[in-house]
Amino acid sequence: MIRVLVADDQQLQRLAFRMLLECEPGMAVIGEAANGAEAVRMATDLRPDVVVMDARMPGTDGVAATRQIVASGGSRVLLVTGFDLDEYAFAGLRAGASGFLLKDAAPEELIAGIRAVAAGGATVSPGLARRLLDAGAYQVLAPVTSALTCDPRLGALSGREHQVLAAIGRGLTNAEIARDLVLTESTVKKHVGRVLAKVGARDRVQAVIVAYETGLVAVGTNTHCPPSRATRP
């Protein structure tokens, strides 16, 4: 049973989420929060598997609440927003959320997203991450690192792994990476797993953020820092 806490300042939205989720086998809404502070308190008390969190709420917003909930190590957070390119949602990813969906997403998308987050995955599709970054939402990140001050998180990566991380940062799927690097999808999957482990990214969404924070990828370019071990495959 996936235990879900719904946090949204609009009562009708909370009701809509509850009605949808309680009709889904294997899923239960264990509480509703009307603001971020209440969401943090209820997440601490109830320990839900997933918190479906509105990105924009008065007082303690969804980003601040996400940071506190993730820091406690208990629940995973799925942000929802009514805005396609919402800096609150992207900042929430940096705060530790496992992804975000639009409030007008199809019901099956929300259900699939919650299941993915509960299973330890991420819900931001590569295409959506690419749109966010290309549209300038990446500007909420720390300034891009220059080629002369490459982040030490990249030091352990092989040349191929640099390429894979850069491709993840550009929002490419495993199939697209396989095509571009002339690899099989199974090989790409193995590379992705090693990249996540080496850069300390919990999931693919966090890897996108690492790629931009380290300066490996920036809008309009492919890479900034040359691979530290370019001779390795």
Rounded distance, CA 127 to CA 81, Å?
Answer: 17
User: Which CATH number goes with the domain that contains 212?
Assistant: 1.10.10.10
- By the 8 A CB rule, do 2 and 27 touch? yes
Ranges 18-32, 112-126, 151-165, most confident: 18-32
Q: What does the mean pLDDT of the chain come to?
A: 79
Cα–Cα distance, 233 to 65 (Å, whole number)? 42
Whether 144 has a pLDDT exceeding 60, the answer reads no
Q: Which helix (H) or strand (E) holds 50?
A: strand 50-54
Cα end-to-end span (Å), the chain: 43
Pair 195, 177 in one domain: yes
Taking Cα atoms as reference points, which of 77, 90, 12, 70 lies closest to residue 51?
Answer: 77
Average pLDDT estimate for 194-208? 85
Q: What single DSSP character describes residue 140?
A: G
Average pLDDT over residues 67-72: 91
How many Cα atoms sit within 13 Å of 77 on the Cβ side? 34
For 193-217, what is the mean pLDDT? 82
The domain tally of the chain equals 2
Tell which wins on pLDDT, 228 or 204. 204
Which range has highest mean pLDDT (104-108, 119-123, 228-232)?
104-108
Kindly tell me if the per-residue pLDDT of 149 is higher than 80: no
Task: Say if residue 94 is in the same domain as residue 147.
Answer: no
Residue 228 · residue 157 · CB < 8 Å: yes
Q: Is 135 left (phi over 0), alpha (psi -120 to 50) or beta?
A: alpha
Looking at the fold, whether 174 and 66 belong to one and the same domain comes out as: no
113 and 138 share one domain: no
Q: What are the tens digits of pLDDT across the range 185-195?
A: 999 999 999 99
The verdict on 107 and 130 lying in the same domain is no
Residue % of the chain over a pLDDT of 70: 77
Tokens matching residue 143: 């300034």
H runs (alpha helix) in 72-119: 87-94, 107-118
Question: Any idea what the CATH number is for the domain that residue 23 is in?
Answer: 3.40.50.2300
My answer on whether 161 and 231 are in the same domain is yes
Asked if residues 168 and 208 have their Cβ atoms less than 8 Å apart, the reply is yes
Q: Assign 33 to helix, strand or coil.
A: strand
Q: What is the pLDDT of residue 128?
A: 56
Q: Name which residue leads in pLDDT, 103 or 59.
A: 59
Residues 157 and 203 reside in one and the same domain: yes
- Averaging pLDDT over each range in 56-65, 117-126, 134-143, which range is the top one? 56-65
Higher per-residue pLDDT: 122 or 66:
66
CA separation for the pair 102, 160 (Å, rounded): 34
142 shares a domain with 226: yes
Residues whose CB is less than 8 angstroms from the CB of residue 11 and which lie 6 or more positions away in sequence, other chains included: 34
Question: What is the share, in percent, of the chain residues with pLDDT greater than 90?
Answer: 39
* 95 in the same domain as 8: yes
Containing structural domain, residue 63: 2-124
Cα-based distances in Å from 157 to 84, 165, 189: 33, 9, 15
